[in-house]
Structures are given as C-alpha cells and as structure tokens.
Amino acid sequence: MAEHIKKMMTEEEVTNKIKELGVLISKDYEGKEVHIICILKGASFFACELAKRITVPVTIDFMSVSSYGGGTESSGHVKIIKDLDEPIEGKNVIVVEDIIDSGRTLSHLMDLLKSRNPESIALCALLDKPERRVVDVDVAYVGYQVPDLFVVGYGLDYDQKYRNLPYIGVVEFDEN
Ligand code: IMP
Ligand code: MG
C-alpha cells in the first residue's frame, strides 16, 4: 500500500524544541557531566542534535535493543542487540529515546540500567504518546506530546524508511 507523509512539526519547530531541551538539561546538570545513552536507531538524529545544545560536558554511548514477544506490540522483554561500550556506574545518565509509546521497552530498559548503579538516571524523549501508555515510565524531558498516530522523521521510521526526514510527519495511507 502506498503512503504519504503529512507534516506535523516543521524542521524549525523541532530544532527550536531541541534547543529548549538543551537549555533545560544544561541548567539541571550545572556543575556535573552528562552521559547520554542513545537508543539506536531511532534516537540517533535527536541525540546528536540534543548533545550539541548541552553546555555541560557530555559523553555519549549507544545501545540497541529490541522488544520481542507477540505480534506488533512490544512485550517489554528487552533483548540487547548492542550493549554499551562503557560502564555507567557513578555517571549522570540521560537515556535518549525517539518516542515513548506503550512504555514497555523503556520501563524494562531503565530497570536494567539502574541495576548498573549510575549516580542518577533520567529519560529524555523527543516524542511521547501518553494515550498509548500501558506501563508507567517517568519521562523527565519530553519534546512533544503527540496523539495516537504513526509518526516518522527525525529518526523515526516506518518500515525503516523516513528516518532522514528533517521534520516530523504522520504516515497516511493512500486509497489505491
Ligand atoms: P514501546 O514504548 O515499548 O511501546 O515502544 C517504543 C518504540 O516503538 C519506539 O522506540 C519506536 O521504535 C516504536 N514506535 C512507537 N510508536 C511509533 C511511531 O509512531 N512511529 C515510529 N516508531 C514508533
Ligand atoms: Mg525505536
């Protein structure tokens, strides 16, 4: 089925929002260092732009996880595809994710990371779909709350496509 993308937030809006998040995080972590954990692949575009807007010292590491279980819903049983390169013990960690949907993946992942004894751990998501939440997760920093629609761009994909769009859009399916 063919699809097209309807623009939801412009590139300028997203850029400004990321700047705001950077300012907020820089204030909250004044006098400290921030260790960003970017969740591949979706959060990579957002994490890089966010890191550029943080004025306290930043280190960055990457993790790739997959939620497996039945069908299209994530089960929350997180399988680590690529683990972190560095230990996080004693670090002020910010987990950067593209979107929080059911919350299953992130809630499981946050528990796992907490068990590695970071100094602190917070979650930052570019997008949040609160209507879809099944498991409660504490999201400290959110770019935008979005309705229950399938969104792409700025790292988010539909069937691995559209990650490279510099704006955020909604996938709409054509009739024929
Ligand atoms: P959950 O919070 O465990 O249900 O899963 C979150 C993951 O589902 C995100 O990291 C995305 O990879 C994917 N996801 C959820 N909603 C969307 C969307 O609207 N567009 C693209 N990916 C999505
Ligand atoms: Mg993802």
Query: Nearest bound ligand to CA 44?
Result: 2
Q: How many Å apart are CA 34 and CA 26, to the nearest integer?
A: 9
Position 67 scores a pLDDT of: 73
Q: List, chain by chain if needed, residues with CB within 6 Å of any ligand 1 atom.
A: 42, 67, 74, 97-106, 150-152, 156
Predicted TM-score (pTM) of the model is 0.94
From the CA of 42, give the closest atom in ligand 1.
Answer: 12
From the CA of 157, give the closest atom in ligand 1.
Answer: 21
Q: How many Å apart are CA 10 and CA 16, to the nearest integer?
A: 10
The answer regarding whether domain 10-148 maps to CATH 3.40.50.2020 reads yes
Query: Nearest bound ligand to CA 156?
Result: 1
**Nearest Cα residue to atom 9 of ligand 1:** 99
Q: What does the block give as tokens for 70?
A: 């039945």
Best mutation site among 99, 145, 163, 172 for ligand 1 pocket (most ligand atoms within 8 Å of CB): 99
Q: Chain-wide mean pLDDT for the chain?
A: 94
**Nearest Cα residue to atom 19 of ligand 1:** 150
| Lookup result for tokens 């280190």 | 59
**Sheet bearing 120-128, strands edge to edge:** 77-82, 58-68, 34-40, 92-100, 120-128, 141-145
Q: What average pLDDT score do residues 57-80 get? A: 78
> Per-residue pLDDT for 57 more than 50?
yes
Q: What does the block give as tokens for 101?
A: 């949907």
**Nearest Cα residue to atom 17 of ligand 1:** 150
From the CA of 76, give the closest atom in ligand 1.
Answer: 3
d(CA 104, ligand 1 centre) in Å: 10
Q: Is 101 a catalytic residue?
A: yes
Q: What does the block give as tokens for 57?
A: 């010292």
> Per-residue pLDDT for 25 more than 70?
yes
Q: What average pLDDT score do residues 136-160 get? A: 96
> Per-residue pLDDT for 70 more than 60?
no
Among the listed residues 48, 104, 113, the one whose alpha carbon sits nearest the alpha carbon of residue 84: 113
Q: How many Å apart are CA 52 and CA 163, to the nearest integer?
A: 19
Q: What does the block give as tokens for 104?
A: 């299953």
